[in-house]
């Protein structure tokens, strides 16, 4: 990057693309901010890392020390700094007579001295290590931020990523000026695996602490298209819902990073210039893809080929009599609809854990019985005494603890005589193995196997009946 040797004072300003976008997303961003502060603090108490760095006003110092002590940690005041409300890449020294706050490390008592030493000599690598930042990103930080004195590491990060800004949302820190990020450090690339791990741990902790909506919003925002650019020390960040002007390194020419992203908000602006898109076309595409995405498929073709397998299994087993058919994990009910179109004397039943998908299934199968719920609860299965067929994915049994797995296995035996199971990307041998491990093999035997290039469907008959 070609840089000029001047630096503008730091600022960051935001403008919304519309009142609607502001109305929906501004309160969400405030809530994400609250989550972040809580998650950052709790990360040390939940053992994700040994230390955190925070700031507290002088009036809150005593409480801070007490709280840390109560949790078995120590609060180490390191310095005083001036107060600013916006994102800053570098902190500002406290000025006498103006408001200031303490820079504090919350850490394990045995690390107290290491903190004080590292802080005194501003050993950024050591400080990063104490904060649990990955080695690859610390090396990057030392090179660009400390040695080369970059104000904004976005471009070096892009270079380290071989000019590819796509990648997991956990590594996307292009919206950090708006407080939107999953990691506290500056990742060395848009694909840094260590940063992904840390970001996921933070997201998980957010969920544990009850911030489900906030975590989901943050994932969504970091998956939008975004453009970052720099010219003459002015950085511009464009997202579907807002643009920002921030200070960055002064350059004689314009540098641009574009990250295409994978989702677009309903409130996003419509336009032809990146990152904006023609919304009507885009929403139509999103709606179309919902048809297979709600059923857990990446493409329409995959879903159809798998549906054909299941339908051929049902056709073989159908016979003259009608009855009830249960799809345990029915998605938006499309498979049930296809089956029951061919056999009007089958009554569809479905259980689906995704709320939107369950609602779609209810609309699709007005004569059926769809429950929004979990396949591992007895209640979800209660609507019928016995089903002629149960469509089931055995892999699900490994997602729960032993007790629930056994209950589910017993319930299947009670509820049907014909089990239609399906699996992707697995051969016949592995199927047998999976069947034994899941505990299903005690009661069931394979009657027929149907295969496509990447999926397998099998019909099972209850051993006790035969
Ligand atoms: Zn890294």
Write out the two tokens for 371: 């429950």
Distance 127 CA to ligand 1 centre (A): 16
Low-confidence ranges of the chain (pLDDT < 50): 465-466
Ligand 1 (ion): residues with CB under 5 Å are 134, 136-137, 188, 192, 194
Distance 197 CA to ligand 1 centre (A): 10
**Strand 346-352, strand 389-392: pairing:** unpaired
Q: Cα torsion at 208, 210, 211, 216 (round to 10°)?
A: 70
Task: Give the model's pLDDT for residue 465.
Answer: 42
Q: Using CA atoms, how far apart are residues 107 and 74, in angstroms rounded to an integer?
A: 5
Task: Give the model's pLDDT for residue 320.
Answer: 85
CB-count burial class (<10 Å; 0-12, 13-18, 19+) for 312: middle
Q: Which domains does the chain have, with CATH numbers?
A: 1-49+132-277 (no CATH), 50-123 (no CATH), 290-462 (3.40.50.150)
Q: What is the pLDDT of residues 420-441, one digit of tens each?
A: 988 776 667 777 788 888 888 8
Write out the two tokens for 126: 């050591």
Distance 411 CA to ligand 1 centre (A): 47
Write out the two tokens for 297: 């498929």
Distance 103 CA to ligand 1 centre (A): 25
Query: CB neighbours (10 Å) of residue 181?
Result: 25
The set of residues, in sequence order, having a beta carbon less than 8 Å from that of 286 and lying 6+ positions away, is 264
> Which residue has 């975590």 as its token pair?
215
Separation in Å, CA 155 to CA 96, 199, 241, 251: 36, 21, 23, 11
CB-count burial class (<10 Å; 0-12, 13-18, 19+) for 367: exposed
Task: Give the model's pLDDT for residue 448.
Answer: 83
Write out the two tokens for 205: 């902790």
Q: What is the pLDDT of residues 184-233, one digit of tens each?
A: 999 999 999 999 999 999 998 998 899 989 999 999 999 999 999 999 99
Distance 186 CA to ligand 1 centre (A): 8
Instruction: DSSP letter for 133, please.
Output: -
pTM for this predicted structure? 0.65
Can you state the percent helix, strand and coil of the chain, rounding each to 5? Answer: 45, 20, 35
Q: Using CA atoms, how far apart are residues 279 and 282, in angstroms rounded to an integer?
A: 5
Task: Give the model's pLDDT for residue 224.
Answer: 94
Q: Using CA atoms, how far apart are residues 178 and 226, in angstroms rounded to an integer?
A: 13
Distance 1 CA to ligand 1 centre (A): 20
Distance 100 CA to ligand 1 centre (A): 33
Give the H/E segment covering residue 421.
strand 418-424
**Of 248, 206, 244, nearest to 231 (Cα)?**
248
Task: Give the model's pLDDT for residue 451.
Answer: 80
Task: Give the model's pLDDT for residue 435.
Answer: 82
Distance 169 CA to ligand 1 centre (A): 14
Task: Give the model's pLDDT for residue 464.
Answer: 52
Distance 138 CA to ligand 1 centre (A): 7
Q: What is the pLDDT of residues 85-137, one digit of tens each?
A: 666 666 667 666 777 899 999 999 999 999 999 999 999 999 999 999 999 99
Please tell me the number of Cα atoms within 13 Å of 392 on its side-chain side: 28
DSSP assignment string, 218-258 = HHHHTTS-EEEEEETTEEEEE-SSEEEEEE----SS-EEEE
Distance 343 CA to ligand 1 centre (A): 56
Task: Give the model's pLDDT for residue 380.
Answer: 85
Strand partners, 100: 82
Instruction: DSSP letter for 450, please.
Output: E
Q: Using CA atoms, how far apart are residues 54 and 397, in angstroms rounded to an integer?
A: 43
Distance 145 CA to ligand 1 centre (A): 14
Helix 355-364 vs helix 334-342: crossing angle, to nearest 10: 20
Instruction: DSSP letter for 424, please.
Output: E
Distance 160 CA to ligand 1 centre (A): 10
Distance 167 CA to ligand 1 centre (A): 13
Q: Which contacts qualify for 119-128: CB closer than 8 Å, 24 or more apart?
A: 119/78, 119/79, 127/53, 128/185
Give the H/E segment covering residue 53.
strand 51-56
Rg (CA), the chain: 28
CB-count burial class (<10 Å; 0-12, 13-18, 19+) for 39: buried
């Amino acid at each position: 990057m070609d840089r000029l040797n001047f630096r503008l004072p730091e600022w960051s300003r935001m403008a919304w693309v519309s009142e609607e976008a502001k109305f929906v997303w501004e309160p969400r961003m405030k809530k994400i901010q609250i989550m972040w502060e809580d998650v950052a603090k709790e990360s040390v108490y939940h053992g994700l890392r040994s230390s955190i760095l925070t700031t507290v006003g002088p009036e809150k110092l005593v409480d801070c020390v007490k709280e840390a002590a109560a949790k078995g940690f120590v609060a180490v005041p390191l310095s005083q700094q001036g107060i600013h409300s916006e994102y800053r890449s570098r902190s500002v020294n406290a000025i006498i007579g103006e408001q200031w706050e303490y820079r504090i490390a919350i850490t394990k008592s045995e690390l107290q001295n290491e903190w004080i030493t590292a802080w005194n000599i501003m050993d950024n690598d050591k400080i990063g290590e104490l904060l649990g930042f990955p080695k690859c990103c610390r090396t990057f930080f030392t090179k660009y931020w400390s040695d080369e004195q970059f104000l904004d590491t976005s471009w070096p990060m892009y270079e380290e990523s071989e000019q590819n800004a796509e990648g997991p949302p956990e590594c996307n820190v292009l919206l950090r000026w708006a407080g939107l990020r999953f990691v506290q450090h500056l990742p060395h690339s848009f694909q840094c695996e260590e940063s992904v791990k840390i970001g996921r741990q933070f997201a998980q902790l957010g969920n544990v602490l009850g911030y489900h909506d906030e975590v989901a919003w943050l994932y969504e925002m970091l998956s939008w298209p975004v453009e970052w650019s720099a010219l003459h020390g002015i950085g511009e960040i464009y997202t579907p819902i807002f643009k920002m002007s921030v200070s960055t390194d002064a350059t004689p020419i314009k540098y641009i990073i574009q990250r295409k992203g994978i989702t677009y908000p309903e409130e996003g602006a419509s336009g032809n210039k990146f990152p904006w898109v023609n919304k009507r076309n885009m929403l139509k595409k999103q709606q179309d893809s919902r048809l297979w995405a709600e059923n857990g498929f990446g493409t329409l073709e995959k879903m159809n080929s798998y549906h054909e397998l299941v339908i051929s299994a049902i056709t073989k087993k159908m016979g003259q009599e009608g009855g009830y058919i249960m799809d345990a994990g029915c998605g938006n009910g499309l498979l049930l609809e296809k089956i029951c179109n061919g056999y009007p004397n089958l009554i569809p039943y479905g259980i689906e854990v995704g709320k939107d998908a369950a609602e779609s299934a209810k609309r699709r199968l007005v004569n059926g019985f769809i429950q929004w719920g979990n396949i591992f609860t007895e209640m979800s299965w209660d609507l019928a005494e016995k089903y002629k067929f149960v469509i089931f994915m055995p892999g699900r049994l490994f997602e729960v603890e032993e007790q629930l797995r056994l209950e589910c296995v017993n319930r299947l035996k009670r509820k049907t005589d014909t089990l239609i199971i399906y699996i992707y990307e697995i051969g016949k041998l592995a199927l047998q193995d999976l069947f034994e491990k899941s505990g299903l093999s005690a009661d069931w035997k394979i009657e027929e196997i149907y295969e496509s290039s990447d999926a397998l469907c099998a019909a099972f008959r209850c051993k006790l009946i035969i």
